[in-house]
Structure formats: C-alpha cells, structure tokens
Structure 1
Amino acid sequence: MEFKIDTKPTYTVITPETGDLSVNLAEEIRQKVKEATETDSHNFVIDLTNIENMDMASGDHLLDLHNEVYNNGRSLVFTSMKESIMNTMKKGQYHLSLNLAPTMIEAIDIISMEVLERDLLGEA
C-alpha cells in the first residue's frame, strides 16, 4: 500500500493512496504512525479521502490505535471519510470513540485544541 506522508510542525498527515479500509490497511496505518512517532511526530491526521469502503473488522484496529496514541499523550484524528465509511463507523459505533472530522481544517483544529489543552493542563 502506498501512503503520502506530510509532516507539519505540530502534526503529521498520513494519506493512504487507494484501497479499502481493511484490517491489513489499519495495521499499515498503525505502522506508519509508529514510524512517524520514532521520528519525533506526536499528533496524526489520517486522511481517508482515497478510501472507498471499510471492513467492520478494521474498526477495532483503529480503536486500538486511537487508544495507543492517546495513552501516550498524543492526538489522532480521522478525516475526509466518504459516506460509506462513515456509515460503517456508525454501524460499529466507532464514531463514539474515535476522533472523526469531516474536513482537514476541522481535523487540524481538533489537533490544535488538544495540544493547547495538554499544554495548559501540563502547566497547572
């Protein structure tokens, strides 16, 4: 699977180029997040613009990734999902636990707010 990686000062955007959101792709995303963490990235936006469908089984893997990232004091947002993916997220109730943003701008806003919140709570 090909990915586009775009590293910004406060977050990294990981965009799978094509395919369906399967368990294998969810694991590849997890690996990309791990690799980016090792190069000092802390917050992640997963851009699903190019993904057409989602397997229900991949939702658990995304939830595990979400929990892993947040347990390490980082942020993770999934964005730009097609309606079919959002319907699968809702069917599996993953939308209740994952950070989902309809647009990249909103995903970046979520990251920015969470970074600010961690900074403020860390100083208290």
Structure 2
Amino acid sequence: MQVKIDTKEKFHAITVLEPKLTANMTAELEASLVGYLQNDVKNLVLNLNPVEAIELPVAETLVKIQQSFYENNASFVICELQPQVENYLDEQQLLEILSPTPTESEAWDIVQMEEIERELLDDGEPLFNND
C-alpha cells in the first residue's frame, strides 16, 4: 500500500495513495497505523482524498484503530473523504463514529485542540479556583 507521510511537531499526516482500500489491505493498514502509537509523536491525521472506494472490513478497522488511539491518549483524525466514500460510510453507520473533517487543515486543528485538552487534564490542577 502506497502512502505519503508528512511529520509535523504534534502529529503525522498520512495520505493513502490508493484509489481503493480493499479487505486484503486491512492487516497492512492496521499494522502501519497502530505502529505510530509507539512513537513519541503519536497523533495521526489520515488523509483519504485519493481513495475512491473503501470496503467494509477496512472501514470497520479504521473505527477500531481510532478507538485504540483515543484509549492511548492520542488523536486519530480522518479527513478529505471523497463524496462516494463518505456516503458509503454513512450507509454503514460508521461516518458519525469516525467524524471526518472536510480538510486536512481542520484535522490538524482538531489534533492540536485535543493535545491542549490532554495537557490541561494531565496537569491535575483545576482550571478554575473558587477560593
């Protein structure tokens, strides 16, 4: 599977360069994406703009991967879905779970906001002091 990887300070932006994500690509996709959880920079933006079709096992795996990232205090944001892929995910009732963004820039914003939120929550200090 061909991908383009762009590493930023707080996340990796990965663009899948395949026109179709088929069931036989599921294991490779999962292994390569979940591997980022071992890095210092764990957050991931997955750009699916070149993807024109996606099969159900891949879509279900993306949901599972997204959950793994959030369980590990990391962000996983999908962006730039083609209309036919978005419609398919909606029909499978997976679109709302994945909550993709229209642009990669918006995905970056979400990752950065979630990172700030985690930093504030990890601080252990209350945000407001009532004294």
What is the TM-score with the length of structure 2 in the denominator? 0.86
User: In structure 2, what is the Cα distance between the partners aligned to 1:35 and 1:105?
Assistant: 23
The residue type equivalent to 1:18 in the other structure is E
What is the CA-CA distance between 1:37 and the residue it aligns to? 2.9
Corresponding residue number in structure 2 for 1:31: 31
Partner of 1:76: 76
Specify the alignment match of 1:95 in structure 2. 95
Note the alpha carbon deviations across 1:68-122, whole angstroms, 9 max, x for none. 1111110000111100110011111112211310101110011011111111111
CA RMSD of aligned residues (A): 1.5
2:106 is aligned to: 106
Contact 2:43 2:74 (8 Å CA) reproduced: yes
Which SS does the other structure have where 2:21 is aligned? Answer: coil
Q: Structure 2 unaligned runs (5+)?
A: 125-131
2:58 maps to 1:58: yes
Please say if residues 23 and 61 of structure 1, whose CA atoms lie closer than 8 Å, have aligned partners that are also in contact: no
Q: Is the Cα–Cα contact under 8 Å of residues 54 and 85 in structure 2 kept in the other structure?
A: yes
The CA deviation at 1:38 is 2.8
Classify the secondary structure of the residue corresponding to 2:62: helix
1:4 matched to which residue of 2?
Answer: 4
Report the number of matched residues.
124
For 1:109, the aligned partner's letter is D
Q: In the TM superposition, what is the alpha-carbon distance from 1:11 to its structure 2 partner?
A: 0.3
TM-score scaled by length of structure 1: 0.90
Q: Which runs of 4+ in 1 moved over 6 A?
A: none
1:49, distance to aligned residue in structure 2 (A): 1.2
Cα distance in structure 2, aligned partners of 1:89 and 1:25? 17
Rg larger in 1 or in 2? Answer: 2
Structure 1 residues 93 and 109: CA distance shift in structure 2, 3 A: same
Q: Which residue of 1 aligns with 2:45?
A: 45
Is 2:13–2:44's contact at 8 Å kept on the other side of the alignment? Answer: yes
Aligned to 2:122: 122
